[in-house]
Chain A
């Protein structure tokens, strides 16, 4: 993998934008992010790694205007995504304002340049209809 495609968090997602999750082999709960400490629902330590399609539905969003950390400059938009594969996740959206966002809209994950000038890519979600 060249520097241009370095992933900001390779423990969370792959170069194909699929999410690295885990499935409890006792109760079936699918969770993200991946961990092998024990199932949050039933406590079982028996699990299998799964990859989750980066597709889901927009459940909510918020434009952040104030952010103490220098890691990203506001404003930016956070979305809450209900993944087709089960878990809900909250992460930064590609959209820089919430004008086109509608709760219930289909969303997809894409790799996007991470802020901060590093040549790394981070996973964000965007409207399925956005090009």
Chain B
């Protein structure tokens, strides 16, 4: 296995989003086209310059890519639909980056577009029946882990709720977020209970939206006249899957620990050097788990650091300045691409009221059921 650094540099040169929102009558091509056109405009390149597309989507169904992108003008380029559960967009970005880094092409598009819809999940089709009879959905999976965290480290449900307070505050400053309303600790704690310690505002909304990122090589940047001062370098890209861990371990955190450690090592970056992190906070407690697994906080210490403001915009490291999955939303396919867009915006210094001061290094993390984990580290222009 070779690290990304074994190949030529790849850069994020354009970003574009369609706001994440509640499911509407808007046909999905309009979501995707808005994001792609915004990314092309941001990069200052024309559609005909794009040589390859990876489209992360988990819910749209078969053959949904070209019938959307044909409205940009048919150029005959390679288009590949990518499904990797919640990490679909992250994997689409990884594949676009690898294709550029290895020299197969100079300009690639990573896209995420989704709308909620009924889809079968592989785990329910294996022929091996589960004893929980479909009664444990993701919020209860994480509620069980949250209860164990309280048993091991002490603390209270408010420690988890404060993640929602921070991320909703960030989302309130993000015009692309599905939830744009700041919430108090009382708002979060008094919200309707969902499972275990979680109230509704501690669970991410799954709606619709789109995110697009254009990846280019130095040759592509030179040929197209792209502004180098807004080109964010991809320093590492790592994707791993779950193994058999010790019985009853927190496999999402273990997988995150291993994947992040590799991504940071390949980028030559220490955890404490990160300025911005976008992570898979589908449920509040995940931010606590993953910050500890990444080495940002010592085991059991993330709630204290959160209370002290370490993860706020302006703190030691801004965690989910976009609002994260909790407030920006989790439309599945777009989510991982949207994280890259937010980090690129931060590292360019163009995040406006959400700007982490002097942001130089960022990390994007997604997990997906199955279970997969994808981590990217990005560096300032």
**A binding-site residues for B, Cβ under 8 Å:** 8-9, 11-13, 29, 32-33, 35, 37, 40-41, 59-69, 71-72, 76, 78, 80, 82, 86-92, 103, 122-123
Contacts and interface: CB of A to CB of B under 8 A. Distances in A.
A76 B244 contact: no
A87 B147 CA distance: 19
A39 B25 CA distance: 46
Given A64-B135, A76-B135, A91-B132, 6 more contacts: A11-B129, A12-B131, A62-B140, A68-B137, A72-B135, A78-B140
B200 to A, nearest CB: 8
B38 interface: no
A59 B144 CA distance: 9
A60 B142 CA distance: 11
Given A78-B135, A88-B247, A60 B129 contact: no
A90 B136 contact: yes
A32 B140 CA distance: 20
Contacts of A11: 129
A65 B194 contact: yes
Contact of A65 (B131, B147, B148, B193): B193
B133 interface: yes
A14 to B, nearest CB: 13
A124 to B, nearest CB: 10
Given A65-B193, A82-B247, A103-B148, A33 B131 contact: yes
Scoring B133, B137, B139, B148 by chain A CB atoms within 10 A of each residue's CB, the highest score goes to B133
10 contacts: A32-B131, A62-B147, A65-B194, A66-B139, A69-B135, A71-B135, A80-B144, A82-B248, A88-B247, A91-B132
Contact of B147 (A41, A60, A82, A86): A60
Nearest to B203: A66
A82 B134 CA distance: 20
Contacts of B132: 78, 90-92
Nearest to B151: A103
Contact of B131 (A29, A59, A60, A91): A91
Contacts of B139: 66
Contacts of B308: none
B194 A66 contact: yes
Contact of B128 (A37, A60, A68, A72): A37
Contacts of B151: 60, 103
Scoring B132, B139, B144, B151 by chain A CB atoms within 10 A of each residue's CB, the highest score goes to B144
Contact of A71 (B131, B134, B146, B244): B134
Contacts of B128: 33, 35, 37
Contacts of B148: 59-60, 80, 103
